[in-house]
Amino acid sequence: MSKEQFSRTKACATKTLYAVMQEMSRRGGSMPAKDLYPFVNKNVALSEWEREPAGKMKYIRWTNSFQFYSIDYVKAGFIVKKNGYWYITPEGEAALKKTPEAVMLAANAAYSVWNQSRDKNNEKEDEPSDNTAATDNSMNLNLLVSDARDGISRYITSKSPYEFQDMVAALLRAMGYHTPFIAPKGKDGGVDIIAYVDPLGAQTPRIKVQVKHKPGTVIGAPDIRALLGVLRQGDIALFVSSGTFSPDAKSTATNSREFIRLIDGDEFIDMWQEYYDKMSDDDKNMLPLKRIAFLGDNE
C-alpha cells in the first residue's frame, strides 16, 4: 500500500469510527454489531474509492480500515466489543469532545503503548492490508454473535411475566441458591422470589427479589425504593428486569444503605449463558441454548 493510500485509509477510519462512537452515545451507549455497516453506509459520506472492493478477497475498503483501526480504539479504552455489541465507554464519551483526528491520534498512541508490551514475534501489521480476511472475519463473527443474542432476546420477550420470573429463579438455583418461594399469580407484596443460601433459610443473607418483565422499558428510581422498603434485618435485595434501569435507579441502588443488586436484560442473558451448564434439564428448557464453537482471534 502506497503512502497516499495509507493516508486515505486512515482518514476513512477516522471519520467512520468517530461517527459510530457518536451514534452509540446517542443511542444510550451501545449498538449491535450488525447495525454498524448499515449505519455507516447510510449516514457517513464515503467516496467512491472508499466504497470500492479491493485486494484478492475483494473487501470493501472502508470496512477493512474500519475494523483494523477499531483495535486501536479498543486498546485506548474508547469502545468495548462484547457479545455482538459495541459499547462506548466513559473515556470514549469524553473523547467525543475532541476532533475525530485527535481521537484517532490518541487511539494510535494507546495502541503503540500496548503493542510495545507484546511479544515482538506477535506484532500487528503496520498498515491495513487489502489482502487479509482477518478484519472482516472478525466482523462476520460479531454479526453472528449479534444475531444469536437477538434471537435469545426475542425468545425472552415472548415469555409471560410469570415465565420470566421462573427463569430468574432457575438462574438463582444454578448459582447455588435455594428458591422455596416463587410468587403465584396475583399480588406479591413487592417480592417475587425469596432465595436462601442454605436449604432451611436459617443463614443470612436472605435475598428478596423483584422481577419486572418489561422489555424496552426503563425502570426508574421509585421501583428501586419500593423494593428497599420491604427489606428487614438480614435481607438483601435483587432487582431483575428484562429491560433497563435509568441513571436515577442506578444511583438510588448505589447510594442505598441496604445492599441491592440490579440486573438488566443484557446482564441476565450473560448470566444465563455463564451458569447454563449448572442448571437442571428442566431449568435449561426454559431458555435452551446450543453452543457452537468458532475460530476466534486474540483481540
Q: pTM for this structure?
A: 0.62
pLDDT at 58: 61
- 55, pLDDT greater than 70: no
CA–CA dist 233, 257 (Å, integer): 12
Give every CB contact of residue 29 below 8 A, 6+ residues apart in sequence: 87, 88
CA–CA dist 66, 135 (Å, integer): 9
Give every CB contact of residue 53 below 8 A, 6+ residues apart in sequence: 59, 60, 61
CA–CA dist 199, 252 (Å, integer): 31
Give every CB contact of residue 11 below 8 A, 6+ residues apart in sequence: none
Query: φ and ψ at 233, to 5 degrees?
Result: -55, 130
pLDDT in tens, 216-266: 889 999 999 999 999 999 899 999 999 999 999 999 999 999 999 999 998
3 state DSSP class of 227: helix
3 state DSSP class of 154: helix
Task: Classify residue 124 by its DSSP letter.
Answer: P
Percent of the chain residues topping a pLDDT of 70:
84
pLDDT in tens, 254-287: 999 999 999 999 899 999 999 999 999 999 999 9
Give the angle 145-73-248 at the CA atoms, nearest 5°: 75
CA–CA dist 66, 39 (Å, integer): 13
pLDDT in tens, 137-150: 555 556 566 667 77
CA–CA dist 256, 236 (Å, integer): 11
Q: At residue 82, what is the residue type?
A: K
CB 17 within 8 A of CB 104: yes
